[in-house]
Amino acid sequence: MPVGTPRLKLMGPGDVPEVMAVERASYSAGWPATAFERELTQNAMARYLVLRSSPPGPVVGFGGLWLMVDEAHIVTVAIVPSERRRGLGSIVVHGLMSLAIEQQMALATLEVRVSNEAARALYAMYGFYEVGLRKRYYADNHEDAVIMTTEDIQSEAYGRRLRALGDQLRERFRGLSLELTSPGLPNER
């Protein structure tokens, strides 16, 4: 486990080099740095979070979503391989879902590799369920993607789910704050 308590914050342009290191370590066909830079500076729908082991510790994970009308579409979540299976992905997904709720989105969607059972289980914990398949979706190996979505994330039931999951994360990571450390939305640039 990284030293210190993990901290989640909105991604800024200065985070891109460290995010790229996580991206390269996580995905064989990852995004180029220019894609993240464009997302942060030119895509008004995009919101990205970074997870640091403890400020000013290194970036150990990140995630992003697009806010489209009333739908939050999770476009990426990555945790550096050496830190996987320690609950850090839950912190990132929790932050993304909290952000989507704060931005008044009605539901969330995503695609995930059929073979990524750990991610599918994590998303299911956050209320995602499988609704379809995108054949040969991934360019690197033509693997299918499972399409997942949620029910109404503004509902009282979803709020209870998110609070319970937040309590579990705070119990597991003593001192963890699930409040984003950059208060202004959209992303401060």
CATH number for position 167: 3.40.630.30
Q: Is residue 135 part of a domain?
A: yes
The answer to whether position 40 is within a domain reads yes
In this predicted model, what pLDDT tens digit does every residue of 76-99 receive, in sequence order?
Answer: 999 999 999 999 999 999 999 999
Strand pairing partners for 9? 50
Q: CA triplet 72, 75, 81: central angle to 5 degrees?
A: 130
Q: What percent of the chain has pLDDT over 70?
A: 91
Q: How many residues does the chain have?
A: 189
Q: Quick one: pLDDT at residue 163?
A: 95
CA distances from 20 to 3, 14, 33, 109 (A): 21, 11, 6, 24
In a domain, 187, yes or no: no
Q: Specify if 2 maps to a domain.
A: no
Nearest-angstrom CA–CA distance, 72 and 127: 14
Check 111, 130, 143, 151 and give the catalytic one.
Answer: 111
pLDDT of 182 strictly over 70: no
Look up the pTM and report it: 0.90
Look up tokens 């992303």; give the residue: 187
pLDDT per residue over 114-151, tens digit each? 999 999 999 999 999 999 999 988 877 889 999 999 99
**Active-site residue (options: 39, 48, 83, 123):** 123
Confidence label for 169 from pLDDT (cuts 50, 70 and 90): very high
> What's the pLDDT tens digit per position in 12-37?
999 999 999 998 888 877 777 788 88
β-partners of residue 109 are: 73, 149
Q: Which residue has the tokens 């997942």?
A: 148
Instruction: Evaluate if residue 5 carries a pLDDT over 90.
Output: no
pLDDT digits (tens, 9 = 90+) for 28-65: 777 777 888 888 988 999 999 999 987 778 999 999 99
Whether residue 111 lies in the annotated active site: yes
> Does residue 123 have an active-site annotation?
yes
Q: Residue 148 domain-assigned?
A: yes
- Structural domain span for residue 68: 7-172
The total number of structural domains that make up the chain: 1
Is 106 among the domain residues? yes
The predicted pLDDT at position 4 comes to 66
Whether residue 32 lies inside any domain: the answer is: yes
Assess if residue 23 is contained within a domain.
yes
Across the chain, mean pLDDT equals: 88
| % of the chain with per-residue pLDDT over 90 | 66
Sequence-ordered list of residues with C-beta below 8 angstroms from that of 45, at least 6 positions apart, any chain = 66, 67, 68
